[in-house]
Structure 1
Amino acid sequence: MQPSTAPHLPVLWSSLFERVSDPNLSLQGRIRQMLVSAILSGHLPPGTPVPSSRLLSDRLGIARNTVVFAYQQLVSEGYLVSRERSGHFVADDVLAGRLAPSGKDEPGASPPAGPKPKADWHRRMSFHPSTQRNIVKPADWQTLPFPFVYAQFDATQFPTAEWRECCTKALSVLDIRSWAPDLIIHDDPALIEEIRTQVLPRRGVWADKEEIVITVGAQHALYLLADLLIQKHTVVGIEDPGYPDARNTFIHRTERLLPLAVDEQGLRITPQLRDCDYIFVTPSHQCPTTVTLPLERREALLDIAGEADSVIIEDDYETENRYDDEPTRALKSLDKNGRVIYVGSLSKSFAPGLRIGFIVAPAELTHELRALRRLMLRHPSAYIQRAFALFISLGHHHALLRRLSLIYRERAQVLTQALGEFLPELHHLPLTGGSWCWVECPPQVDTQKLADHALAEGVFIEPGHVFFHNVAQVRNNYMRLGFSALDSRRIPPGVERLAQVYRGLYGKG
């Protein structure tokens, strides 16, 4: 190491190591990441010496062999070169083929011209999805003491060992040969088979492999269906209150979105249904009220669809998390005429970040869905598909759902008791499944105002107005309290603190 660089080492390497490297990597991986970042960012130019393994290990307080192995890997990858009795240096050609940073003068380049007008992106966009009414969660919700969020990750329940086992198995030589090639329009056959034989039969649904399409979550499934089936004048019926992201997806494609009334038994069977080309429903756990559509209404809905030549899109989310261990049959299971498109999710309860969903529909439709999906992203990660197929086949998925059902039942009971104790004037329907509670407050309560004040006290709740279709007729006195990411022990103090905020705004009701 050249003496001129030595005085800077305590500051340079220790601070760079802490700032740049990922603490979740091994020490060897962190050293490699630190050096690669410094080289590619230009902080270590080609030909620059790097510290000796002994010196860097001393500065970072780690074993010398760890540094030696990291250097050897970087040499093999062409980032460093080893010179006998001189040490390691940044390779001279490591930045070959990279363009110079923008704004640098090049030999023979003409002087920059005067300023040009910038593109007017606001005018160019066909619509502005960021302005739609969406469910909003603070980015740092996991740091809050009482996050009553819905469908979010609970680190304490993640089956780390089981998922790691499946990911490792998916990296076997034979498995890699199956998922590494571009599948183009196809899906991993192992996952299709597990969905067909293990997942769907629990919902009373039977499908051929050609009738199943894997998606990047249920939301991607809805986007595909909207893109393929909905035109400007298509009439799409949607529950009101209902799922905001489905509403936002459909309303971008049709000017004829029809809100359909919901009561304490779910979607009401009204003459409006006959006017719909498509009807979007959440019959097993209505979003957001949690109610289950009874059998007689399901049969009536299917009869109307047949008579009116309409199609039903069934979003069957959180159906496995019933507290009585008696899952309701999917609407799709009653369909005898191919009029129900079934949308499901495998990762919502498990780990939303995995983004694995699926569509079950007639083969004529799934053929075109695969072709459309190819234009968007070709296919979801084949590696994740294979790992998930193993996760299901080894019984881990079913075991996880059973465990979560027990946990959610306990949390639902605790939440119900806490609401009765601290906020008895609030009303909600009995909880029979899922991981959230739909709460009705007295008419004078504005839950957006309540949410804003509660957040300042470390309590996050979801105001209910976003679930209603018509902005002019929004009912502001509803909220959703999710408990998928909140341990039972934190629910009572969280509700108590929410009650304190509530009393400060509205007294004793």
Structure 2
Amino acid sequence: MWDQLFQQHARSGLSLQGKIRQMLVSAILDEQLPLGIPLPSSREMSAQLRVARNTVVLAYQQLVDEGYLISRERSGYFVNPEILGARVSGVASLRGTPAPDTHGSARPDWDRRFVFRPTHQRNIVKRHNWRDYPYPFIYGQYDPVLFPTADWRECCLKALSVLDIHEWAQDMIVRDDESLVQQIRTRVLPRRGVWAGADEIVITVGAQQALYLLSDLLASPDTPVGIEEPGYPDARNIFGRHTSKLIPLPIDAEGVIPSDALHACDYVYVTPSHQCPTTVTMPLARRQALLRQAEEADFVLIEDDYESESRFEGDPTPTLKSLDRNNRVIYVGSLSKSLAPGLRIGYIVGPAELIAELRGARRLMLRHPSAYIQRAFSLFLSLGHYDAHLRRLSAAHRARAETVLAALAAHMPEFRPVPIAGGASCWIEGPPWLDADALARLAELQGVLIEPGSVFFMSEPAPRNGFRLGYSSIAPERIEPGIRVLASVARELHASLPARGASAA
């Protein structure tokens, strides 16, 4: 039995001592071991698990210190009968409770009670097991090969020093890690031409929470909010949660088009550095015109600079925030998107009075992002690891982008990619006959994951011939073979269309 239990934890990444401890804790808490029974002696357990006896002794002793086991002189180690405490009676009472009547009249009518159904919104759908596919052209995931494991681990270990623990272990309430705010002020924002005081920055759980906080604070049911068309679906859904007046703003090869539609907006959400999803970069003249219009029509710009650091050539275009002289721009940034999305660290830059209210709103939601992760990220920035990572990432993404464009030209000449100036994705407009949703379904069967473009459009029916290819998480050597497979699927899809034969006739 013990050998089988031990094998269940063999891939946990822990030391042998840690694996034995994890095995025993799981067996106790899962009630696989009766309370009060003796465990095998350290000699017998070491023989069964084929590990050193001292390893077992140390694991046993640690569990004694933590109350899971009791050591009795000359008798050995026993499961502590008090370890489950009130939990045992709770479990017992649950076992004696009859199964709930899921169809009875006393059951709440949840459909009637919901005031909001997020599952009914149109969202980007990504496979959780994307690593199992040979050709994952998806955006927003990271490549383990490019992740600076040693550097990040170094910063996490430094953040576990006694002095650092004293800082981040406390409830910060509305505060953020001061060292991280300082790093953002002095190392991150100046590269984008943005200067801000400590009271003009708030840390968020990614840019996603930043947008939700802004929407929650600034948008009422009748607040008109302009959204790029096509644009970021989650931003559309977030603002659509708070207002019914979403105004689609058409884009061209230079981003949002300055038009009379902007005059009807109180807020305008834009992605000028790399427009989502088309990746086009808004030129300086267009940015200046947009700011002038914001002043004339009295609306506020929410600038999502989600891929600000990724530009393959030339100097970065100044951010809207860097050109702003009248607090017309709320700036949203992400630190974790280019490192590891799972870390969830973003920030908002805005006037001090707005930041104070955002901190209050964040307190109601989750108080503050993990102070430990904030401290580790601060160290990662201060030691120069973040800058070095961005340089490596930019070089890798540039090489992959070139491979993507070359493969598309060779295998899918009918498909028109938007020129790639930076970032980690490519927007492609297919021929008029293309249904990108159908292409994605058929391509998935061949191991190719792409992102159909219809979800990025607010209008219905949405154009169906566009799709996005991400290249941040696919190995470089798989790009050309993957696009070759995608081209084959596209040809089969085109050949299967009933209208093709009719038009030829």
Task: Name stretches of at least 5 consecutive residues in structure 2 with no aligned partner.
Answer: 501-505
2:461 maps to 1:473: yes
Matches within 5 A, 1:92-171: 92-98=81-87, 100-102=89-91, 104=93, 117-171=106-160
Aligned residue pairs total 495
For the 8 Å contact 1:57–1:67, the answer to whether it is kept is: yes
Going from structure 1 to structure 2, the CA distance change for 1:159 and 1:113 (only over 3 Å counts) comes to: closer
For the 8 Å contact 1:191–1:388, the answer to whether it is kept is: yes
Q: 2:376 aligns with which of 377, 382, 387?
A: 387
- The residue aligned with 1:9 is none
Q: TM-score normalized by structure 2?
A: 0.95
Shift of the alpha carbon at 1:507? Answer: 4.1
2:445 maps to 1:456: yes
Residue 58 of structure 2 aligns to which amino acid in structure 1? F
Question: In the aligned structure 1, how far is the partner of 2:20 from the partner of 2:98?
Answer: 42
Residue 213 of structure 1 aligns to which amino acid in structure 2? V
Question: In the aligned structure 2, how far is the partner of 1:460 from the partner of 1:187?
Answer: 38
Other structure's SS at 1:348 match: coil
Matches within 5 A, 1:41-440: 41-98=30-87, 100-102=89-91, 104=93, 117-324=106-313, 326-440=315-429
- The residue aligned with 1:498 is 486
Question: In the aligned structure 2, how far is the partner of 1:376 from the partner of 1:245?
Answer: 18
Question: In the aligned structure 1, how far is the partner of 2:132 from the partner of 2:10?
Answer: 22
Question: In the aligned structure 1, how far is the partner of 2:304 from the partner of 2:389?
Answer: 21
Question: In the aligned structure 2, how far is the partner of 1:439 from the partner of 1:414?
Answer: 15
Residue 229 of structure 2 aligns to which amino acid in structure 1? D
Question: In the aligned structure 2, how far is the partner of 1:213 from the partner of 1:490?
Answer: 40
For the 8 Å contact 1:261–1:267, the answer to whether it is kept is: yes
Other structure's SS at 1:28 match: helix
For the 8 Å contact 2:258–2:293, the answer to whether it is kept is: no
For the 8 Å contact 2:307–2:423, the answer to whether it is kept is: yes
Residue 306 of structure 2 aligns to which amino acid in structure 1? Y
Going from structure 1 to structure 2, the CA distance change for 1:105 and 1:383 (only over 3 Å counts) comes to: closer
Other structure's SS at 1:157 match: coil
Shift of the alpha carbon at 1:20? Answer: 5.0
Shift of the alpha carbon at 1:22? Answer: 5.3
Going from structure 1 to structure 2, the CA distance change for 1:482 and 1:112 (only over 3 Å counts) comes to: closer
For the 8 Å contact 1:21–1:33, the answer to whether it is kept is: no
Going from structure 1 to structure 2, the CA distance change for 1:110 and 1:199 (only over 3 Å counts) comes to: closer
Deviates more, 1:337-346 or 1:174-183: 174-183
Other structure's SS at 2:408 match: helix
Residue 494 of structure 1 aligns to which amino acid in structure 2? G
Shift of the alpha carbon at 1:13? Answer: 1.7
Going from structure 1 to structure 2, the CA distance change for 1:112 and 1:394 (only over 3 Å counts) comes to: closer
Shift of the alpha carbon at 1:102? Answer: 5.0
Residue 64 of structure 2 aligns to which amino acid in structure 1? V
Question: In the aligned structure 2, how far is the partner of 1:469 from the partner of 1:57?
Answer: 63
Question: In the aligned structure 2, how far is the partner of 1:434 from the partner of 1:157?
Answer: 15
Question: In the aligned structure 2, how far is the partner of 1:27 from the partner of 1:206?
Answer: 50
Other structure's SS at 1:69 match: helix
Going from structure 1 to structure 2, the CA distance change for 1:181 and 1:325 (only over 3 Å counts) comes to: farther
Residue 81 of structure 2 aligns to which amino acid in structure 1? D
Question: In the aligned structure 2, how far is the partner of 1:110 from the partner of 1:317?
Answer: 51
Q: TM-score normalized by structure 1?
A: 0.94
Going from structure 1 to structure 2, the CA distance change for 1:120 and 1:99 (only over 3 Å counts) comes to: farther
Shift of the alpha carbon at 1:500? Answer: 1.3
Task: Name stretches of at least 5 consecutive residues in structure 1 with no aligned partner.
Answer: 1-11
Question: In the aligned structure 1, how far is the partner of 2:39 from the partner of 2:234?
Answer: 51
Residue 475 of structure 1 aligns to which amino acid in structure 2? P
Question: In the aligned structure 2, how far is the partner of 1:405 from the partner of 1:281?
Answer: 23
Going from structure 1 to structure 2, the CA distance change for 1:465 and 1:225 (only over 3 Å counts) comes to: same
For the 8 Å contact 1:149–1:481, the answer to whether it is kept is: yes
Question: In the aligned structure 2, how far is the partner of 1:130 from the partner of 1:19?
Answer: 35
